Amino acid sequence: MEGAKTLASLGEFGLIRELFTPLGRKDELVDQGIGDDAAVFSIPRTQQLLTTTDTLLEGIHFNSDMDPFLLARKALRVNLADIAAMGGLPKWYLLSIAVPPNKPLEWLEEFGRGLKEAGEQYDVFPIGGDTVGSKGPVVITITLFGIVGEDRAMKRSGAQVGDKIFVSGTIGDSALGLSQRLGSLQVRSREDLVYLKHRHQLPEPRLALGALLQESSLPHACIDVSDGLVADLGHICAASGVGAEIDVAKIPFSEAAKRQVADHGEALLGIMLTGGEDYELLFTVAPGMAEQLVADAAEKTGVMVTEIGQVVKSDDHKPVVLKDGEAMSLSGQGWTHF
Amino acid sequence: MEGAKTLASLGEFGLIRELFTPLGRKDELVDQGIGDDAAVFSIPRTQQLLTTTDTLLEGIHFNSDMDPFLLARKALRVNLADIAAMGGLPKWYLLSIAVPPNKPLEWLEEFGRGLKEAGEQYDVFPIGGDTVGSKGPVVITITLFGIVGEDRAMKRSGAQVGDKIFVSGTIGDSALGLSQRLGSLQVRSREDLVYLKHRHQLPEPRLALGALLQESSLPHACIDVSDGLVADLGHICAASGVGAEIDVAKIPFSEAAKRQVADHGEALLGIMLTGGEDYELLFTVAPGMAEQLVADAAEKTGVMVTEIGQVVKSDDHKPVVLKDGEAMSLSGQGWTHF
């Protein structure tokens, strides 16, 4: 590595200084950010704190050759989606990163540039973290903090029998983008390929929509679709003690995704409904109450919201996906890591 | 692996349920713990939140054969030491764990048992986390939350020229325990071996002492000794814009450690002063102000506190270790990961 600056040549404390410290910002709530044993901050009196954490592993969640600028933005965005699902306002984060000492400095600089870009876009900044050497994979853990008004957070556990089920955006694009990357899907059109890859690599946290839903007080339950539409609906069902029926004909798919189903057959639907990483919002609202909300979502946040089914009584608290009135048999209940 | 229950056979969500959920407890400040997109909690009106995060990697911070019951307790304790250094009261934590699918379930159960034991001992419990599959090492990230009165947190940045420097407990035991494990130190006495290994494997977070120091309002700066006495004193110097002189003859060493120096020579001192993982508290107090504090520490917390030097003016903000009045040349400025 002669001539190339690596992490080893910079040292751990140098890395912290060069990569993280400049990303910190002033904020009247943050008393102590990066640079002490712990961060110290306050939250406004009428607010509660939200916190969520996600770990991304090289070789599992991303490939070694993934663009670090993209990786940093995705790592922040998947956490932002969790704050969106609670209806909160994201504020600060902790970053723990494990990297091999021979990692080129350029990789870290690009990673830092991604954090900066996403931080500016979503108005969040780091208040602490940890950097450690790794003999193996890069490991990234982001813990994100947000705030929300007292008793205003949207949980998974409030769905009621009779509620209508809604989802934002389109479902399955990310799973198709991943399938293409893994070589199990051939995407014919160059334009579709770019779109599906983008949806997988750079999900859009629905923060404005989450805030709108929370302010409306209408959703009884809300979750972000990270494990897959069916699995995440299952999480709502389990937490709320209910069942759910959704109709595959109502689920919003992008034109690009529809073209893949046309080209490769309906078996793709299973991947799309269980593949995960959509990071769309899935929520339930009492019947007849959501019309204005759906219109507001489109007008104020530019996000399409679609009714896809209803909450029903059920003993096993598992969702059912109907196709032409019959329950579909899906290969899995969503993507699990094991 | 026929017959042996592994992580793969249990599944990710099963793991979360079996391992973490039973560790959650009720707490009037926690509105939503494990089981939603984000945890939701409040902090008392007169308090600030403290948060710290540490990542432990298999092969770097612990060996593959490390007892998982011990590992879980150590992972929590190193974070608790950071809250102690700020003078806070630990409350809750997030746990992210990456484990290979073929990990025996027994390993995870023992890890969970360690979390439970440490959680009960220090009155902390999990409010969320993430579990992911790993193709390589086990990776553990704990993010710990504590609370502290408004403007009461002890930071690194307040040390003043003339302050006396104090440290709790004894320094270097952990580094000697690690050296023994790595095969670079032969410990003659069985009793010393047990003691030094224990100090490395199961550090004692000085929470009661941290609270006492904070309540006294006397420390101008405080840090926990994780990177090594010299490096952590250097962090205080850098953050406070001062220098420091400590006298090696004043640094508290255990009898077991002294016997190693007697057996193997004074070269060991370098390891002891820079090896890190002592997790003792290092702090500075205005001259003549600490007598009562030192007595209280011994009486109320059972922890010995020793004066080891003073804060001085310095342009490079680096600490100097004196031995017989001469500056010692130490191999490093403390243990770094790269």
pLDDT digits (tens, 9 = 90+) for B90-133: 999 999 999 988 888 889 999 999 999 999 999 999 999 988 88
A96 closest CB neighbour out of B45, B141, B336: B141
Other Cβ atoms less than 10 A from the Cβ of B139: the count is 27
- Is A48's CB within 8 Å of B40's CB? yes
A133 closest CB neighbour out of B40, B60, B150: B60
Instruction: State which residue of chain B sits closest to A147, comparing Cα positions.
Output: B40
Instruction: State which residue of chain A sits closest to B9, comparing Cα positions.
Output: A338
| Minimal C-alpha gap between A129 and chain B (Å) | 6
> Residue A138 carries which DSSP code?
-
- Is A141's CB within 8 Å of B96's CB? yes
Determine how β-strand A281-285 pairs with β-strand A164-168. antiparallel
Residues of A in contact with B127 (CB under 8 A): 51
Determine how β-strand A39-41 pairs with β-strand A30-32. antiparallel
Tokens of B303: 């922890």
Instruction: Give the integer Cα–Cα distance in Å for A205 and A93.
Output: 16
A128 closest CB neighbour out of B51, B130, B136: B51
- Is B128's CB within 8 Å of A96's CB? no
pLDDT surpassing 90 at residue B192 = yes
Instruction: State which residue of chain A sits closest to B44, comparing Cα positions.
Output: A45
pLDDT surpassing 60 at residue B258 = yes
- Domain range A7-149, CATH architecture: 2-Layer Sandwich (3.30)
Instruction: Give the integer Cα–Cα distance in Å for B303 and B294.
Output: 9
Average pLDDT of every residue of chain B: 92
Contact call for residues B139 and A98 (beta carbons, < 8 A):
yes
Contact call for residues A239 and A155 (beta carbons, < 8 A):
yes
What pLDDT is recorded for position B12? 64
- Domain range B164-327, CATH architecture: Alpha-Beta Complex (3.90)
Residue type, B47: Q
What pLDDT is recorded for position A337? 42
- Is A41's CB within 8 Å of B31's CB? no
| Minimal C-alpha gap between B49 and chain A (Å) | 5
- Is B96's CB within 8 Å of A43's CB? no
First vs last C-alpha separation in chain B: 36
Q: How many residues does chain B have?
A: 338
Per-residue pLDDT tens for A165-180?
A: 999 999 999 999 999 9
B55 closest CB neighbour out of A96, A127, A338: A96
Per-residue pLDDT tens for B127-162?
A: 999 888 888 899 999 999 999 999 999 999 999 999
Instruction: Give the integer Cα–Cα distance in Å for A88 and A149.
Output: 8
- Is A146's CB within 8 Å of B38's CB? yes
Instruction: State which residue of chain B sits closest to A93, comparing Cα positions.
Output: B51
| ipTM for the whole complex | 0.90
Calculate what percentage of chain A has a pLDDT beyond 70.
94
What pLDDT is recorded for position B8? 73
| Minimal C-alpha gap between B11 and chain A (Å) | 6
The arithmetic mean of pLDDT across residues B44-57, rounded, is 94
Per-residue pLDDT tens for B203-257?
A: 999 999 999 999 999 999 999 999 999 999 999 999 999 999 999 999 999 999 9
Instruction: State which residue of chain B sits closest to A7, comparing Cα positions.
Output: B338
Instruction: State which residue of chain B sits closest to A60, comparing Cα positions.
Output: B134
What pLDDT is recorded for position A42? 95
Helix (H, G, I), strand (E, B) or coil at A97: strand
- Candidates B156, B324, B127; CA nearest to B242 is B156
A53 closest CB neighbour out of B101, B129, B157: B129
pLDDT surpassing 90 at residue B19 = no
Residues of A in contact with B15 (CB under 8 A): 338
Instruction: Give the integer Cα–Cα distance in Å for A113 and B232.
Output: 29
A37 closest CB neighbour out of B85, B127, B139: B85
Residues of A in contact with B8 (CB under 8 A): 338
Instruction: State which residue of chain A sits closest to B32, comparing Cα positions.
Output: A155
Domain boundaries, given as residue ranges, for chain B: 7-149, 164-327
Per-residue pLDDT tens for A38-94?
A: 999 999 989 999 999 999 999 988 989 999 999 999 999 999 999 999 999 999 999
Q: Is the pTM of this model over 0.90?
A: yes
Determine how β-strand A125-133 pairs with β-strand A89-99. parallel
Strand partners, A129: A95
Other Cβ atoms less than 10 A from the Cβ of A179: the count is 22
- Candidates B140, B141, B129; CA nearest to B53 is B141
Calculate what percentage of chain B has a pLDDT beyond 90.
81
Q: What is the 3-state secondary structure (H, E, C) of chain B?
A: CCCCCEHHHHCHHHHHHHHHHHHCCCCCCEEECCCCCCEEECCCCCEEEEEEEEEEEECCCECCCCCHHHHHHHHHHHHHHHHHHHCCEEEEEEEEEEECCCCEHHHHHHHHHHHHHHHHHHCCEEEEEEEEECCCCCEEEEEEEEEEECCCCCCCCCCCCCCEEEEECCCCHHHHHHHHHCCCCCCCCHHHHHHHHHHHHCCCCCHHHHHHHHHHCCEEEEEECCCCHHHHHHHHHHHHCCEEEEECCCCCCCHHHHHHHHHHCCCHHHHHHHCCCCCCEEEEECCCCCHHHHHHHHHHHCCCEEEEEEEECCCCCCEEEEECCEECCCCCCCCCCC
| Minimal C-alpha gap between A266 and chain B (Å) | 27
User: Where residue B16 falls among pLDDT bands split at 50, 70, 90?
Assistant: low
The arithmetic mean of pLDDT across residues B247-270, rounded, is 96
| Minimal C-alpha gap between B113 and chain A (Å) | 22
Tokens of B2: 């026929």
- Is B45's CB within 8 Å of A45's CB? yes
Residues of A in contact with B33 (CB under 8 A): none
B86 closest CB neighbour out of A40, A130, A139: A40
- Is A130's CB within 8 Å of B11's CB? no
| Minimal C-alpha gap between A210 and chain B (Å) | 12
Q: Divide the 338 residues of chain A into consecutive groups of 10 and give the mean pLDDT of each group.
A: 62 70 90 94 94 93 93 97 98 94 88 96 95 89 97 97 98 96 94 96 97 98 96 97 97 98 93 95 96 96 98 95 89 45
